[in-house]
Amino acid sequence: MSKESRIYLIGFMGSGKSSLGKELSAALKLNFIDLDAVIEEKTNEELHNFFKKSEKSFRALEAKTLRELTFNNTVYALGGGTPCFFDNMDFIKENGISVFLKVSEDKLYERLKKHRKIRPLLSEKDETELREYISELLSERKSFYDRADIIYDEEKMNISSLIDKIDKIDQFR
């Protein structure tokens, strides 16, 4: 792993970007940054409250903050929609290794229905609406997520196999 390494974890909300990011950063002895936590600190406001006020303002701040975070030797956990706005996916691809955490719709649904109240895009949805929303939004975001350098399918991979794939890509950069 080169000292300049930046690993960007992308994927749908509830896919485990923050959890896997902490585990991956510890295994690789890299720093860990959660973009959502940085935005909360920057705005001094809980993410879901800021997001509810204006998604457009949130997405603009998210893109700006992503570009300001230029620390090497770091694993970044990004928000579920981060790669889908303001050419963020191009920035991610140009500046590091991107990893899409692929999780089945059923698993996402089970995870997210427990935490709807703290998710700005889900707080008002009943279970039927939630299932439909996950399916629709995943479909919309698929083209962005599929551009990742690595697709980490949690049902088929483990952290060791992910590290092997990261090392192989890192060797050729």
3-state secondary structure of 77: strand
Rounded Cα–Cα distance for residues 30 and 1 (Å)? 10
pLDDT tens-digit series, residues 96-149: 999 999 999 999 999 999 887 777 678 789 999 999 999 999 999 999 999 999
Average the pLDDT over 35-47 and give the result: 93
Three-state secondary structure along 32-64? EEEHHHHHHHHHCCCHHHHHHHCHHHHHHHHHH
Domain ranges of the chain: 6-171
Which candidate, 17, 19, 24, places its Cα nearest to that of 73? 24
Beta bridge partner(s), residue 110:
none
Task: Enter the CATH code of domain 6-171.
Answer: 3.40.50.300
The encoded tokens of residue 56 equal 């457009």
pLDDT for the residue 3: 52
